[in-house]
Amino acid sequence: MSIDQGSAPMPDCASRTPSSRIALGTSRLRSAGGGLDQAQAVRFVQAAFDLGVTTFDTANIYGQGDAERALGVALASRRDSVCLSTKVGYEMPAVVSGARALKPFVRMMATRLPIVRRASQALRGRAGNGRVEDVGALTVAARESLARLRTDHVDVLYLHSPERVTEPLVAFLSDAVSSGLCRKAGVAVADVDVAREWARTG
C-alpha cells in the first residue's frame, strides 16, 4: 500500500530490508506548490522513518529531481535500513528544468495567492510529458537518479508509465539489474491493458 495516489504496493526489496506495509510516495515532495523547502522535506522523510516507514518511492521528475535530492539527504545514514525505489521514463522539458531556481518564489506566492496555488497544482502532473524510450537515455537517467539519491543502487527501478512493451525496454530492465543499478526492476503503469501486456512478458 502507498499513501501516494496512483502508486502500487511495493514488493519486498531485499531479504536484508523487508518493506514496511506503508510506502511513502514523494510525487508532491519539493514540488513548487508543495510548501516544503529542502530542510522541511528532509525532516518530513526522517520523521516518517522514525515512525516505522522503511519503504520510499520516488521518480526522477518528482519536484524536478528535488524529491530524490531530499530523500538522498534524509536517508544517507539509513540506506541499509530502507527499501528505495525510483522511476525513469519521462524527461524534464528544458523550460521546466531551467525554472527550478524559481521554485522558492513560486512556493511563496502559492501560499499567498490562490490563483498561483491552483496553477501550480494543475501543472504538477505535467512536469515530464516527454517519454523516453531510448535505452542509453534511460540508463543515463537512472545513474543521475542514483547520484541525487546518494546511493550506488536502488532496490527497485521502475519504467515510468511506458505505453507499450518493446524489446529494448525489456532489455533495459534486465540490464539495469545485471549491471547493479537496481536489485529488482519493473514497470509502474496506470493502464490495465498495458499492465497485462507487460505481465505476459514474464
Selected residue with higher pLDDT from 13 and 139: 139
- Whether the pLDDT of residue 123 is over 60: the answer is no
Q: In the predicted model, what is the mean pLDDT of residues 81-99? A: 77
Task: For residues 69-95, give the mean pLDDT.
Answer: 89
* CB neighbours of residue 54 within 10 Å: 22
Report the C-alpha dihedral over residues 10, 71, 156, 16, rounded to 10 degrees.
Answer: -80
Q: pLDDT tens digit string along 2-23? A: 334 444 444 556 545 667 889 9
What's the pLDDT tens digit per position in 35-79?
A: 688 999 999 999 999 999 999 999 999 988 999 999 999 999 999
Question: What is the per-residue pLDDT across 160-175, written as a single tens digit (0 to 9) for each?
Answer: 999 999 999 999 999 9
Query: Is residue 161 left, alpha or beta, with left meaning phi > 0 and alpha meaning psi from -120 to 50?
Result: left
**What one-character DSSP code corresponds to residue 88?**
E
Q: If you average pLDDT over residues 140-153, what whole number do you get?
A: 97
Which set of grid coordinates corresponds to residue 195? 499492465
pTM assigned to the model = 0.77
Do residues 156 and 184 touch, judged by C-beta distance below 8 A?
yes
